[in-house]
Amino acid sequence: MTDLLFGTNLVAMVTPMEPDGSLSRPGLKALVDHLLATGCDGIVVGGTTGESPTLTDAESAELVRSVAGLAAGKAKVIAGVGTYDTASSVRRAREAEAAGADGLLLVCPYYSRPTQAGVIAHCRAVADATELPVMLYDVPARAGIAMEPATLLTLAEHPRIRAVKDAKGDLFEAMTVLARAPLAYYCGIDELNLPYLASGATGLVSVVGNVVADRNAALIRAVRDGDLKAAQVIQTELLPLVDTIMRTSQGAIMAKAVLAERGIIPHASVRLPLIEAQAE
């Protein structure tokens, strides 16, 4: 089952940093402990919310190794390895596997805007590089291109490509692919968690989950139990926090600001080009 490969209540984890921009090891341990205590069963390390474009290869591998050690047996560790360069993505995938990752998150190559045939070749090359299961990351707002339905159906034929983190927001397309391919869908847009779950998504990859993974767990449970009313209540209660984190500024910035304000991580520091949230 895909639940066993990746989990259901995944968090796109921020990368705790010191004011000088270095990785915060105390912050990392505190955050992982918090995520595990609040019901997260999958931690995405070094994804977009983890400020992946600013992480070196060595830092990415170190983060995976550290989180894998802290979360061993308690949550799956999914390593973000996608870049706009296939060779770099393959290298990061192999390093993540060696560091103890349970799976890979592979974003559609950004900036270079390959053809759909190029997207397929890129994803197959990374999936062929390790023995780990792969979750595709379809986020056209960041990548500049989308994974078209035919591309997703073709990639689903690869034995290690098992899931999609969908940040596209096209529910009809998601349901169409779900009906035709053995791909598990994970909602990658916190604003749409409930409709995705209600449409058959396996779970969530949530930015807001950095703060309230327990509420996401309750939402998933309510939908699986068929209690739509309870799910609607939870989603309504979460709306102000979702708005604050996802729409006030930028997800990584605001998630860190809330975590620091609550004393879960020591600093809200981010790396340029991101700028730390202002007090107001």
Element (H, E) at 77: strand 76-80
Distance CA 280, CA 261 (A): 13
Known catalytic membership, residue 84: no
Cβ neighbours of residue 151 closer than 8 Å, sequence gap 6 or more: 116, 119, 120
Distance CA(163)–CA(110), nearest Å, equals: 19
Written as one string, the DSSP assignment of 104-150 is EEEEPPPSS---HHHHHHHHHHHHHHSSS-EEEEE-HHHHSS---HH
Answer whether the bond into residue 53 is a cis peptide, omega within 30°.
no
Catalytic residue among 76, 84, 110, 137: 137
Q: Provide the token pair at 4.
A: 């066993």
Answer whether 222's CB lies under 8 Å from 198's CB: no
76, 84, 165, 186: the catalytic one is 165
| Residue 73 neighbours by CB under 8 Å, 6+ apart | none
Q: For residue 165, indicate whether it is catalytic.
A: yes
| 89 close to 82: Cβ distance less than 8 angstroms | yes
Distance CA 156, CA 127 (A): 11
Q: Quick one: how many helices (H) and strands (E) in the chain?
A: 12, 8
CA–CA gap between residue 37 and residue 58 (Å, rounded): 28
Catalytic residue positions? Answer: 137, 165
